Structure formats: structure tokens, C-alpha cells
Amino acid sequence: MSVDPRIAISRRLRKTPFTSRVFEQGVTAFTVYNHMLLATEFESLEADYWHLCSAVQVWDVSVERQVSLKGPDADKLVQLMTPRNIEGLAADRCVYLPLADEKGLLVNDPVGMRVEDDHWWLSIADSDVKLWASGLAAGAGLDVCVTEADVWPLAVQGPKAEELMQRVFGDDVADIRFFRHRRMAYGNATFVVSRSGWSKQGGFEVYVDDVAEGQALYDELFEKGQDLDVRAGCPNLIERMESTLLSFGNDMDSRHSVLESGLGAFIDLDADINSLSIKALRTERDAGPKRRLMGLFIPAPAGARRLAEQPFAEQLGMDTKQVGSSEDILKQGLIQHCLGSQVYSPRYGVQLATAMLDEPLASSDVCKVLLADSTTAEAIICALPFTPHVLMALASDAEDVAVC
């Protein structure tokens, strides 16, 4: 018997100021992220995708919790947490900050903003950064207060996002550059607004720290966007995979290093900085990573070709007949050849996936993979990011890839 599982909502799963509105907008699926509810689907994954790519959506992304670091030593604590040099960053800059422990392993990958001279917000992915930051601050004797700020971000995403934001905030919002932020007046409040968001369709994020004004903003975005076909939405798996927007906990996690995760461009290993992970990452850089986060591409002109829970059974010496498509709970802890995210791209007619592959497989061009229907196929292994040029080129060469 097939049933649709439900999430039991309790105090442990925190609501947001917009949860009731999200329900009214017709949400059909949620996930849990930072102990909060995050919508994952409204009409359908594919319908939401095409709409996001053509119109404008309003997302409740309150799950992007803001870990607040405030005090004279706030900069020192941020630098201790990340191997990226934060010295000299412009005051209005949004900066991607891989956070890593003393072994160089990822803890989180937030976007950081210095909202005041001695005050940072870290807009975190799904892990308890506040606990780690509090422990580091106490252990290092730093004068900094670590809290979770009462901030609930809204995202306005899609090619018509700028038009909608101008209708609500005025023409000045268009002057905000990519990955920059400024404070914008709204009603009786002043919100931090950034040109950012977890899509590559263009858009903004509004960091709501006044519940009443934030709810009024949510409603006004829909009122003023009717002719733009505004809808409620959420981060979309198809769009983020095509755009290679990595998801901590899915594509990489706390078992993987910053370098293994392909984030070397976002750190400064030669800088003279006091960072917890810098020594370990320098050693790893000199030796070379043992594994790398790679892209997988499987031609699928007839529709989705979902990979099995463990698609690399052959490479791991497993009996593919026994692995099948069901989840083997004992194999979840394996770090060798780990599947990350996967999705079917209707735009390109391909199955896309990420995988953390050990060498020498990571340096191979193709590999045999097990599919969810217990058949096998050959997948192209490619460097990330996926780009439209690469996807179109790979799709055009699909007939050259043998399907077993």
C-alpha cells in the first residue's frame, strides 16, 4: 500500500511569521531545515521550476537562520571559523564563508554580512553553527555575544523580481549590486536587503526583523505582483542543480573537507590569518585531496533515470543484485564514492547528480552506475559547475554514451 507521509508539526519544528500564508498559498511538501519548516513544492517540482525561470516567486526562507556575532572580537571569531580572509571586506559585501574545524572539515557554508562595525550575521545552511561558535568564543576567551537573531528572510526570485521589488521598495533597490546589501525603509521598519538568493534567475533577499511589517511586506508583494504572475515558491531542486548551487548536507557534509568540496576558490590558504582550519587545509592542499565533488551526467531523452541509493556498487565491490534501489542503512556512513543530489532536467533531457568520488575514479571520464530500477548505465563524470554550455554540449553528445 502506498501512502503519502506527513510531517507532525510540533514545538520542535518551529514555524515562521509566514507559515500560515505559505499554507494558504497551496504548499504541498515541506522539509525540515535548521529545526524549521521549509516548503519544497507547490504545484509540482517541474511546474514550479518553469514558473521560477519565467516570472517571479516569493519564498519564505526563514530557515536561513542568522547567527549573530556581536562585540569587539566579532571579526576575530569569524576569522577563526573560516579559512577565507575577511580583512578589508567592503561594509556592504555579502561574502560566502566556508566554515571548517581544526581538521579542515566543513561545519557549514553560510553567507556572511557585516551589518555593523562589530556585528556579523551568518546566514547559515542546515547545521547548529550557534553551538559551535559559542564554544569557540568561550574557549578562545573572545569578547563576543553569540545568539540566533530574530530575523526571518524572504526571497524574491525570478526574472521579474527586480520589477516587483521596485514597485514595493522604490527605484533605489535596483542600485544594489550583486552580493551587496543595504538597509531599505519599509513602513515603520528598515530591513537589510541584498541582491542574492538560492537561484540564478536573479532576485533579492529581505532580512525581516519586524514581524508585523514583514507580514505586510509579504502581502504587498503579492498585491503588486499580480500582473507579473507572482506566486509563492521555494528553492527548486531542478534549478539549483542546473545552476550548481551546492547544498550542505546533500552534496557535501561534515565528513568532507573544504578542498574536497571544491571550495578552494573561496578560501585564502596563503593569507596570514588566525583560522582554526588553515594548517590542516594547507597540508591537504600540498598532498592533494583524496576525493573530489564531481558532477554526473546521464542521458535521459525519454525521461528521468534515477540513480540507486548506492550507484557505485560495482566500484565498491558490492553485488548489484543485492543492492537494488532500496536504502541500505548500514551503507549510509560510507565516505567512499558518495552520491549527493540528483534530479532530472526537463530542459536538457538529462539526469544530473553530484557525487563525492575518491581518486582515481574522480579523474575518470565515465563510470558504470546502478539505477533505481536495478539496471545499469554509463554516466559521464565532469567537473563542476554545470553550465548551460556544458549541459547543451553533453546533451548533444548523448548518443555517444552507451546505455547498458
Residue-wise pLDDT tens digits, 197-212? 999 999 999 999 999 9
Residue 397, pLDDT score? 60
Enumerate residues 6+ apart whose C-beta is below 8 A from 186. Answer: 168, 169, 213, 217
- Same topology between domain 66-148 and domain 290-400: no
Separation of alpha carbons 404 and 399, rounded Å:
13
pLDDT per position in the chain (404 positions), as tens?
A: 556 777 888 888 999 999 999 999 999 999 999 999 999 999 999 999 999 999 999 999 999 999 999 999 999 999 999 999 999 999 999 999 999 999 999 999 999 999 999 999 999 999 999 999 999 999 999 999 999 999 999 999 999 999 999 999 999 999 999 999 999 999 999 999 999 999 999 999 999 999 999 999 999 999 999 999 999 999 999 999 999 999 999 999 999 999 999 999 999 999 999 999 999 999 999 999 899 999 999 999 999 999 998 999 888 888 766 665 455 555 666 778 999 999 999 999 999 999 999 999 999 999 999 999 999 999 999 999 998 887 887 776 654 443 32
DSSP string over 127-190: S-HHHHHHHHHHHHT---EEEE-S-EEEEEESTTHHHHHHHHH-GGGGGPPBTBEEEEEETTEE
Given its phi and psi angles, is residue 104 left (phi above 0), alpha (psi -120 to 50 degrees) or beta?
left
**Strands of the sheet with 152-157, listed across from one edge:** 181-186, 189-194, 203-208, 152-157, 56-60, 230-233
> HEC profile for 303-367?
CCCCECCCCCCCCCCCCHHHHCCCCCHHHCCCCCCEEEEEEEECCCCEEEEEEEEECCHHHCCEE
**Residue whose C-alpha cell is 563524470:** 381
Q: What is the pLDDT of residue 9?
A: 82
Which pLDDT value is given to residue 325?
45
Q: What is the pLDDT of residue 400?
A: 47
Read off the C-alpha cell for 78: 569569524
Question: Residue 402: how many CB atoms within 10 A of its CB?
Answer: 10
Cβ count within 10 A of residue 183: 13
pLDDT for residue 333:
63
The grid cell for 50 is: 518553469
- Determine if the peptide bond prior to 360 is cis (ω within 30°): yes
> How far does the chain reach from its first CA to its final CA, in angstroms?
31
Residue pair 61/155 in contact (Cβ under 8 Å)? The answer is yes
> In a 3-state reduction of DSSP, which class is residue 37?
strand
> Is 22 strand, coil or helix?
helix
Global pTM reads: 0.94
Are 52 and 29 in contact by the 8 Å Cβ rule? The answer is: no
**Domain 19-63+151-242 in this protein, CATH class:** alpha beta
Q: Are 202 and 177 in contact (CB under 8 A)?
A: no
Residue type, 265: A
How far lies 12's CA from each of 33, 35, 109, 147, 183, in Å? 12, 7, 24, 18, 32
- What 3-state class would DSSP assign to 392? helix
Spans of all domains in the chain: 19-63+151-242, 66-148, 290-400
For position 108, what pLDDT does the model report?
A: 98
- CATH fold label, 290-400: Elongation Factor Tu (Ef-tu); domain 3 (2.40.30)
Report d(CA 50, CA 238) in Å as an integer. 10
Q: Which fold has domain 66-148?
A: Alpha-Beta Plaits (3.30.70)
Q: What is the DSSP string of 72-92?
A: TTHHHHHHHH-SS--TT--TT
Cβ atoms of 208 and 58 closer than 8 Å: no
Widest CA span in the chain: 64
The per-residue pLDDT for 402 is 34
d(CA 54, CA 46): 13
Structure confidence by residue, pLDDT tens digits, 77-134: 999 999 999 999 999 999 999 999 999 999 999 999 999 999 999 999 999 999 999 9
Q: How many CB atoms lie within 10 A of CB 121?
A: 26
pLDDT, residue 404, reads: 26
